[in-house]
Amino acid sequence: MIQRSILQVTLLSCAVLAAAGCGKPAPKSLVTGDAAQRVYVAPGEHDEFYSFLSGGFSGNMTVYGLPSGRLLKTIPVFSQFPENGYGYTEETKAMLETSYGFLPWDDTHHPQLSKTNGMPDGRWLFVNGNNTPRIARIDLTTFETDEILEIPNAAGGHASPFVTANSEYVVSAIRFSVPVPNTDVPIEEYKAHFKGSLSFVTANQPGKMDIAFQILMPGYNYDLGRAGKAASEGWFFFTTYNSEQAYTKLELNASKNDKDYIAAVNWKAAEACVAAGKAKVMPADYRHNHVIAATRTAVSERKTSVKVLEPTACPGAVYFLPTPKSPHGVDIDPTGEYIVGGGKLASVIPVHSFTKMIAAIKAKAFDGELDGIPVIKYDAVIAGEVQKPGLGPLHTEFDAKGNAYTSMFISSEIVKWKLGTWEVLDRMPVYYSIGHLMIPGGDGTAPYGKYVMALNKITKDRYLPTGGELTQSAQLIDISGDKMQMLLDFPTQGEPHYAQALPASLIKDKQVKFFSLKDNAHPYVARSEQDAGVTRQGKQVHVRMIAIRSHFAPDVIQGVEVGDTVYWHVTNVEQDWDILHGFAVLGMRTAELIMQPGETRTITWTPKSPGVYPFYCTDFCSALHQEMQGYVRVSAPGSGVQLTAGLSERSATQQARAAKLPKPVGGHDHAAVSTGVK
Amino acid sequence: MSFRARLLLAVAALLCLGALVLPLWEVRLGAPQYPEGLGLRIYAHTVTGIKEHDLDNINGLNHYIGMQAITPEAIPELVYMPWIIGALVLAGLGIAARGSRRGVLAWLAVVALLGVVGLWDFWRWEYDYGHNLDMDNAIIIVPGMTYQPPLIGTKQLLNFTATAWPGLGAVALGLSFLLTAGVWFVTRPRPEVA
């Protein structure tokens, strides 16, 4: 009875509050009746789109299905990932090598799908490391990072890795100008020494990413970029802020000028100048890391020079378009005609016209030069301004119907407006403080449309609270009608800055289900129990081990001594989809291994004290997974325990497969050294 | 026997060539965790997986129940079956050339006999795989359970549903038999109509 009264009182107070208009406006009102149905993907059914969200400070990429918002995968890129050993294994460590040494972390910002004719082609996904400028390539048949190129003469590789319409280049322009080359100078001498660099990286051949050339720009902050397409193909556009060239108190000192610039780069002209020898070759030190397919092992190569082009050595290659104010995003509409600036402190959304820009260049409608780069007159290039769009415009994407959608960080909304008339058509509040937004194909020549995803920085009360550090979020909004409709809201990992999406049909049937054991050319592969064994090379003990449902071979190892480094080379000899095995040893100070079928992975272990250490399979593989274990005995140095590997006979069924597989090089030597323990 | 009848006999004999290149039998296995299925194709000369690694994967799974490995090299029938089929083709062509109804009848009898013997032999192999288990190395032991796959039709074997069905090679043999029988029937001597 008492409880009931309390309930009644509570309901009553709610009604009073609602009547008085108290409380925040209920976001529920944004959701129309059938929203749940439109994002519901029934058990066993597939999403229509793959979306790829950067993980920001997690250094990873995440893959979500749309419209369900279900997390499908985390792809490690610039950060060590103990979950599968990425960055810990002998095969993957080289991916994280840089000129600064081994870096276990970076900050991923902008995923970019490779493109053909201005649209995603489903081959690769590129993403930048912002802190220590790098560009990574992820193969979309394996969802693995298989190449990383470091960018020299760079810091804060933020305007990256935006891709040209046919993936000729991905770019890296830098948010922090630095002395080039980077030497010890007084920071007060910023204007004299600091430069910005725009790097053009050849992207079309896996394993061969390379810096074609860098353009050395005035020491501003280069924030974001987009390739021209269709009408403007052959050009690249970068936003700049801090044209004040401040080096301290930037929030104030870099916000003084009414206009900063969009740098328009005619990359075909720059390419021609480089081909004509107008770039100088500069000593540099950077790394190119990539995976050799046959061994699935990454190598890191050192590069020692880079071609650098001064804009003054290549007239006609670079122009500045004045743009209000401290522009962040620059986005090109599907026709390639409109260049939309996201002046984060501007009260309008300025839109430049590519046609007008070309005419202005021809007519030399310039307002002087900056470091030899012509500045085009604002009136000669501006096509229109979206008036009163909201506060803090950042990024714009497009549908296929001539509409643009701009994210508003400060007023926390998406604003839909019309290209050409510049009128605001609709607004959708988002929760809270949106950064990028993403329409599938919305940066391409023929957007798929259907949805816009808001990538929000702040969630506060949107989900069940989890202490002080809260998730960020993505919101899915239907854009198929005249009015935007909120559909779904889901938490994300790390800080997704930007995202890309493509129709699942483009890649889902191209997935590699397992690696061919026959073609595995890893130097320590074991394709069957007969190939397995242990060998000692001084203080190194190499264990060639196989994993198959449900055992390791060898599973009893003796004769390891304190002071040894044990190399566990574990081959998953399964040739079946989704049959993974894991490996971990008691007290291992690195990470576990996850071996995909047909793959060899190596982790090192340096036991510190004598004893017996169990190891086991960490990825639940089969009904006898709990039995998939073994022991390694560690003895005191000089104890004289013979190195042996227990390779007890396995059932004939499991041996049958071995006969058809090639013997590994040196495999017999290993077998000869090892001693069977029956 | 008319030229047309002999031509049809020759076609029937050549149809048997299908049994040399096409699978004689297929066994498909499905389980909750194998939505894509596993399967075997039994040819006159070998046994293969339907997908590249199916045979190895089936052998891998079978080790849990102590079943022998299915290795084509260990099945002698796979060596002489192609020769038998080849002989049937040659004999059929010879009979077609001579147009002998007695020859046709003999050929039909031999094919029928081989068919019955072949199916019995296949069943015998299946019985052996399903019953002759290595219990010392079997990991999953279900008392009284045996694992003989069906000769034709569907059967539940633990978590797997096994379905066996004739392959296109067996269909070719069957068509050849029916065509030959048809020729034999149509060319039967008829009383003269006065």
Partner A contacted by B86 (CB < 8 A): no
Q: Reduce the secondary structure of A124-143 to three states and give it as a string.
A: EEEEEECCCCEEEEEECCCC
| Alpha-carbon distance B123 to nearest alpha carbon in chain A (angstroms) | 21
> Residue A243 carries which DSSP code?
T
Q: Which of A550, A577, A656 lies nearest to residue B69, judging by beta carbons?
A: A656
Given this model, what pLDDT does residue A400 score? 96
The mean pLDDT of A351-365, rounded to a whole number, is 98
Mean pLDDT of chain A: 92
- Rounded (10°) angle between helices B101-131 and B77-98: 170
Residues 6+ apart with CB under 8 A from A586: A613, A614, A615
Q: What is the pLDDT of residue A365?
A: 97
Q: Does A541 touch chain B (CB under 8 A)?
A: no
Determine the Cα–Cα distance for residues A572 and A554; give it in Å rounded to an integer. Answer: 13
pLDDT at A16 over 60: no
Return all residues near A233 (Cβ < 8 A) that are at least 6 apart: A118, A164, A165, A227, A336
Predicted pLDDT at B183: 94
pLDDT digits (tens, 9 = 90+) for B85-133: 999 999 999 999 999 999 999 999 999 999 999 999 999 999 999 999 9
Residue B44 DSSP symbol: S
pLDDT tens digits, A242-294 = 999 999 999 999 899 999 999 999 999 999 999 999 999 999 999 999 999 99
pLDDT digits (tens, 9 = 90+) for A482-518: 999 999 999 999 999 999 999 999 999 999 999 999 9
CB contacts of A656 in chain B (<8 Å) are: 56, 59, 69-71
pLDDT exceeds 70 at position A410: yes
pLDDT in tens, A575-584: 999 999 999 9
Q: Which residues pair with A74 in a beta bridge?
A: A62
Examine the pLDDT at A2 and tell me if it is beyond 60: no
What is the β-pairing status of strands A424-429 and A413-418? Answer: antiparallel
- Radius of gyration over alpha carbons of chain A, in Å? 29
Write the ipTM: 0.87
Residue B59: which of A623, A624, A656 has the nearest Cβ?
Answer: A656
Higher-confidence position of A24 and A521: A521
pLDDT class for B44, splitting at 50, 70, 90?
very high
Residue B113 CB neighbour total at 10 angstroms: 10
- Do the beta carbons of residue B29 and residue B160 sit within 8 Å? yes
Interface test mutation site (partner B, options A624, A651, A654, A661, max chain B beta carbons within 10 A) = A651
- B37 touches A: beta carbon within 8 Å: no
| Cα B117 from Cα B113, distance rounded (Å) | 6
Asked if A655 is an interface residue toward chain B (Cβ–Cβ < 8 A), one would say yes
* pLDDT at position A649 over 80: no
Cα–Cα distance for residue pair A370/A541, rounded to 1 Å: 62
Looking at the complex, does the CB of residue A657 fall below 8 Å from at least one CB of chain B?
Answer: yes
Mean pLDDT of A406-412: 96
The span from the CA of A595 to the CA of A552, in Å, is 12
Beta carbons of A592 and A82 less than 8 angstroms apart: yes
- Where residue A32 falls among pLDDT bands split at 50, 70, 90? low
- Chosen for mutation from B40, B46, B56, B159 (greatest number of chain A CBs closer than 10 Å) is B56
What mean pLDDT comes out for the span A418-423? 98
> What's the gap in Å between the CA of B64 and the closest CA on chain A?
9
Greatest C-alpha distance within chain B: 78
Of the partner residues A623, A624, A654, the one whose CB lies closest to the CB of residue B60: A654
Whether the pLDDT of residue A664 is over 80: the answer is: no
Q: Give the whole-angstrom CA distance, residue A629 versus residue B73.
A: 33
Are A553 and A650 a contacting pair, CB within 8 Å? yes
The residue behind tokens 């802190």 is: A131
* 8 Å CB contact between A314 and A273: yes
Q: Which of A6-20, A255-269, A630-644 has the lowest mean pLDDT?
A: A6-20
**Strand-pair partners of A602:** A569
pLDDT tens digits, one per residue of A143-162: 999 999 999 999 999 999 99
Query: Structure tokens of A310?
Result: 């001064």
Q: What is the structure's pLDDT at B162? A: 96
Q: How confident is the model at residue A17 (pLDDT cuts 50, 70, 90)?
A: very low
When pLDDT is averaged across residues B7-11 and rounded to a whole number, the result is 96
Residue A208 has which token pair? Answer: 């061969």
Across the interface, of A575, A624, A656, the residue whose CB is closest to B139 is A624
CA distance B119 to chain A (A): 25
